[in-house]
Chain A
Amino acid sequence: MDFLYRWRRPILAVLVMIVLATLLSYTAKLRGHVLTLSAVAGIVESPVGGVITHVGGGVRGDVQSLTQLFRLQQENQKLKARLTLYESLKLQLEEVQADNTRLRGLLYLKSQLGSWHLLAASVVARNPNNWFSTLTIGRGSTSGVKVNMPVIVPQGVVGRVVSVSPTTAQVLLLLDPSSGAGALDVRSRSAGVVVGRDPITGTLRFQLFSHHPNVLPGDAVVTSGLSQYFPKGLLLGQVIRVAPSAGGLTETATVKPAVNFNQLETVMVVLSHPAGESTPPLSGLVP
Chain B
Amino acid sequence: MWQYRWWAWVLVFAAALTIQTTFLPLVFPIGYVPNLVLVVVVALAFFESPSRGALLGAIAGLMTDVVAGRLIGMNLALDAIVGYLVAQLQSQIIRDDVLVPGLVGAFAAGASRLVEWAVLRVLGYSFAFRPFVAPLPTDILFALFMTGAVMGLMRLRPRHEVDARLRF
Contact = CB atoms under 8 A, between A and B. Distances in A.
A200 B125 contact: no
Contacts of B37: 128
Interface stretch (B26-34, B42-50, B84-92): B26-34
A280 B135 CA distance: 37
A136 B130 contact: no
Interface string B95-112: 000000000000000000
Contact of B131 (A126, A136, A201, A262): A201
Contacts of A125: 18, 21-22, 25
Contact of A134 (B22, B69, B134): B69
B68 interface: yes
Contact of A199 (B18, B126, B131): B131
Contact of B69 (A133, A170, A261): A170
A275 to B, nearest CB: 31
A130 B33 contact: yes
Contacts of B33: 126, 128, 130
B122 to A, nearest CB: 13
Interface string B4-48: 000000000000011011100100011111010100000000000
Contact of B30 (A128, A170, A199): A199
B26 to A, nearest CB: 9
A281 B41 CA distance: 47
Nearest to B65: A129
Interface in A163-181: 163, 170, 175, 177
Contacts of A199: 30-31, 131
B135 A200 contact: yes
B67 to A, nearest CB: 5
B162 interface: no
Interface string B107-149: 0000000001000100001111011001100000000000000
Contacts of B21: 125-128, 136
Interface residues of B, number: 29
B106 to A, nearest CB: 17
Interface centre among A127, A175, A199, A202 (most CB of B within 10 A): A127
A194 B32 CA distance: 23
A129 B128 CA distance: 17
Contact of A200 (B18, B25, B116, B130): B130
A119 B128 CA distance: 36
A200 B139 CA distance: 14
Nearest to B120: A131
B30 to A, nearest CB: 5
A124 interface: yes
Contacts of A130: 31-33, 35, 135
B92 to A, nearest CB: 31
Contacts of A200: 31-32, 130-131, 134-135
A175 to B, nearest CB: 7
A268 B70 CA distance: 24
B67 A133 contact: no
A134 B146 CA distance: 26
Given A198-B131, A201-B128, A201-B131, A127 B68 contact: yes
Interface centre among A124, A126, A130 (most CB of B within 10 A): A130
B113 to A, nearest CB: 8
Interface in A114-166: 124-134, 136, 163
A198 B31 contact: yes
Given A129-B75, A130-B33, A170-B69, A124 B22 contact: yes
Contacts of B25: 125-126
Given A133-B30, A177-B125, A201-B131, 12 more contacts: A126-B22, A126-B25, A131-B116, A131-B120, A131-B131, A134-B68, A134-B69, A136-B21, A177-B126, A197-B128, A200-B131, A262-B30
13 contacts: A124-B22, A126-B21, A128-B17, A128-B64, A128-B67, A129-B75, A130-B33, A132-B68, A198-B31, A200-B32, A200-B130, A200-B135, A261-B30
Interface of B: 17-18, 20-22, 25, 29-33, 35, 37, 64, 67-70, 75, 116, 120, 125-128, 130-131, 134-135
